[in-house]
Chains A and B, each alone.
Chain A
């Protein structure tokens, strides 16, 4: 059967609401509007306005309400329209959701799921296009996941809801319209990275929207005789060091793709961990392909120039092989 990322998110939400009466979906325009990205279309009709709850434009307030509700018996899924808006709710996520268990000496866990769209590519300019996942991945006390595939778009929600701690899910805007043939949808492991393509010459690490660019680059590089192993991080916190290190020990080269800005990025963190854990296995310096350090511009050619692209990934990988070309 053919399934899209959007329908996978939708079906995951529907199944979660159907399977557990404690699950509540809340956020801006999740109900009557059907979700900004149409991911919750029809759910209001099926589950009613109490459980599919439209909120005012009060990110700080409704994320905090989600935390309180999670503390007191519900399993809220709070949708924040886009990562840039989530900054209005950062206080509640960082100062309360992430800290509560620790500062209460282990008395209060917060089983909250926060979903938001991230990423660029739709010419939405500097306040709707950023990838701020690395900020979230910095915070102890929360888990951060980024589904890149249709399977994960469906399969990550169930385990996130079953998790006793806050889980933040980043859905990449460019992926909603992608689709694949799948046999069946089911829960996926939210503790491990996934090797999306096996290879021997170089490890290419990516996540979210960049995964597909990394895979396209791998196909091109194969024609040039370079066999890439492509790893989808999937879980941005806690990072699955083992999968990455194991791969680097085999390939001896690493390129990290990250749609976030390079400074302080996940690419930086992955690089540091590989340098710490597999330095003597490396045959070449680590390379990174990240977004240009500018607020995202509107004009299409400039936006595309700011983002990691297949040719940049190909060039970065080839550069590691020097004369072998």
Chain B
């Protein structure tokens, strides 16, 4: 039987993400959110399970499909939603949008819309931690598509060569935008690639939140104990389109339906109810509070304000004491 507190947290995390993403899709259709919008529906177990394994002062580097990571690292949903609305109350003051959520106070380094762009960054953050004797972990999220980029290989090589504390979290959802895993990789077992750099690896069912949590805990422990890198391949699936512009011509509806049968939220809920870890009332409470949180976030975003266009050029460079006087 699962620990009740942990089960509650894991389910709650997944539900908050799911409901937020569904609301985002709705708000996109209502033209409240614009630009690219990449939803995490189907992959919730990965972020929920893995992020809970991190300590508060660890760092996170994520991708452009990062709403879940931002939320579960503690960025308030209100400021995430305001960011997607483009309001100055947003976590990036409306300068970033859906793909560029940031929060320095949470050591959340974004939100990166260049595939694999975050990997060197994460290794550099870890290099500084190692050199400044900070025993912290940098968790770096990226997809299967990133594994084909040179930046992946350069980053894993240097992280291993210099023994740096990075937890590489590969969210393999089987598609690099519309290109299937088998059509993008000669070696589809992505752990083999990481292992070729002598980085220890683990592959885990990314639809099973407890397995994700356990794997991440093992990875985090390894990184903290050895100071060196660890690679986890979370095998998951994206239920919705790549972005709101994607007509999904590249995959069968039947395939999506098969994966939906393994919905991480439904299966974990059923399991918890079945083994008595959680009650119906618990599940209802989780759903209700997610709905309330989302309502509050949307209201906050709606009430948010537009930054004065006169401030357009601020934050390109850091203000010097003379300039800000």
Whether B7 sits at the interface, judged by CB under 8 Å, is no
Bound complex: CA A104 to CA B151 (Å): 22
Whether B126 sits at the interface, judged by CB under 8 Å, is yes
Residues of A near B114 (CB, < 8 A) are 91, 95-96
Whether B316 sits at the interface, judged by CB under 8 Å, is yes
The range of chain B's interface size is 35 or more
Whether B137 sits at the interface, judged by CB under 8 Å, is no
Whether B81 sits at the interface, judged by CB under 8 Å, is no
CB-based contact A108/B104 at 8 Å: yes
CB-based contact A64/B131 at 8 Å: no
CB-based contact A67/B317 at 8 Å: no
CB-based contact B109/A74 at 8 Å: no
**A56-B154, A74-B132 known; A105-B120 Cβ under 8 A:** no
CB-based contact A56/B161 at 8 Å: yes
Q: Which of A147-168 contact B (CB under 8 A)?
A: 164-165
**A58-B157, A141-B317, A165-B317 known; A70-B104 Cβ under 8 A:** no
Whether B91 sits at the interface, judged by CB under 8 Å, is yes
Bound complex: CA A140 to CA B100 (Å): 18
Bound complex: CA A12 to CA B232 (Å): 42
Tally of A-B Cβ pairs under 8 angstroms: 145
Whether B102 sits at the interface, judged by CB under 8 Å, is yes
Residues of A near B109 (CB, < 8 A) are 68, 71, 108
In the complex, the chain B residue whose C-beta lies closest to that of A59 is B154
Residues of B near A66 (CB, < 8 A) are 124
Bound complex: CA A68 to CA B132 (Å): 13
CB-based contact B132/A61 at 8 Å: no
Whether B63 sits at the interface, judged by CB under 8 Å, is no
Residues of A near B125 (CB, < 8 A) are 68-69, 71-72
Whether A40 sits at the interface, judged by CB under 8 Å, is no
Which residue of the partner chain, among B91, B126, B129, B318, contacts A105 with CB atoms under 8 Å?
B91
Q: Which of A226-270 contact B (CB under 8 A)?
A: none
Whether A73 sits at the interface, judged by CB under 8 Å, is yes
Residues of A near B117 (CB, < 8 A) are 64, 91-92, 95-96
**A101-B317, A105-B93 known; A60-B120 Cβ under 8 A:** yes
Whether B25 sits at the interface, judged by CB under 8 Å, is no
Residues of A near B96 (CB, < 8 A) are 103-105
Whether B103 sits at the interface, judged by CB under 8 Å, is yes
CB-based contact A109/B318 at 8 Å: yes
Shortest beta-carbon distance from B309 to chain A in Å: 15
**A91-B117, A104-B95 known; A68-B100 Cβ under 8 A:** no
Shortest beta-carbon distance from B68 to chain A in Å: 19
Bound complex: CA A50 to CA B128 (Å): 11
Residues of A near B123 (CB, < 8 A) are 61, 64-65, 68
Bound complex: CA A324 to CA B103 (Å): 64
Bound complex: CA A198 to CA B90 (Å): 52
CB-based contact A68/B127 at 8 Å: yes
Residues of B near A69 (CB, < 8 A) are 124-125, 127-128, 131
**A56-B161, A107-B103 known; A64-B95 Cβ under 8 A:** no
CB-based contact B131/A96 at 8 Å: no
Bound complex: CA A100 to CA B318 (Å): 11
Shortest beta-carbon distance from A12 to chain B in Å: 21
Whether A62 sits at the interface, judged by CB under 8 Å, is yes
Residues of A near B112 (CB, < 8 A) are 96
Residues of A near B59 (CB, < 8 A) are 72
Which residue of the partner chain, among B95, B104, B111, B122, contacts A68 with CB atoms under 8 Å?
B122
CB-based contact A107/B128 at 8 Å: no
Besides A58-B154, A69-B127, A72-B59, 12 other CB < 8 A contacts?
Answer: A24-B131, A56-B161, A65-B124, A71-B109, A71-B124, A73-B128, A92-B117, A96-B114, A103-B110, A104-B102, A105-B92, A105-B93
What are the 3 tightest A-B residue pairs by CB atom distance, in nearest-first order?
A68-B124, A64-B120, A61-B154
CB<8 Å pairs between A and B, sample of 6: A64-B124, A71-B121, A72-B132, A74-B127, A95-B114, A105-B90
Contacts from B to A (Cβ < 8 Å): 59, 90-96, 100, 102-104, 109-112, 114, 117, 119-129, 131-132, 150-151, 154-155, 157-158, 161, 314-318
